[in-house]
Amino acid sequence: MEKEQEANLEQDEAQTQEAGQRAREEIDRFTEIFPGVGPEQVPEEVWSEARRGESLALAYALYRIKTLEGLLARRERSAKQSAGSVGSAGSAAPGGTVASFWDAYEV
C-alpha cells in the first residue's frame, strides 16, 4: 500500500510540474503577443476562459476583437446619426466606417 501511495504522490508531483510548465509557456506566449499588457489588465472573463482550458493569448485576442467590434459598431451608428442630422451633405464614405477603414489599407 505504501508503494502505491508513493507512486500516486510522484504522479501528482509530475502533473503539478507539467501544469506549472504549461502555465509558464502560456504566460510567455501571451507576453510575446501582447507585450504591454499586464495581468491586471486582463479581464476576469479572459481568465475564466483560460481556466477552462482555452489559450490565454487566444482568449484575450477574442476578447479584444469583441471589444473593438463593439466600439466600431458604436462609431458607425454615431457616424450615421451625425450624417443623418447633417443631411446628404455629409462626407461619409459609402459603406460606412468599415469600408473607409478597409479602403485606407488596400494596396
- Selected residue with higher pLDDT from 106 and 75: 75
Condensed to tens digits (0 to 9), the pLDDT of residues 58-88 reads 999 999 999 999 999 999 998 888 887 765 5
Q: What is the pLDDT of residue 87?
A: 54
| pLDDT(107) > 50 | no
Residues in the chain: 107
Domain ranges within the chain, ordered by starting residue: 2-85+93-104
Q: Work out the number of other CB atoms within 10 angstroms of the CB of residue 36.
A: 6
Condensed to tens digits (0 to 9), the pLDDT of residues 17-30 reads 888 888 899 999 99
pLDDT level of residue 10 (50, 70, 90 thresholds): confident
3-state secondary structure 35-80: CCCCHHHCCHHHHHHHHCCCCHHHHHHHHHHHHHHHHHHHHHHHHH
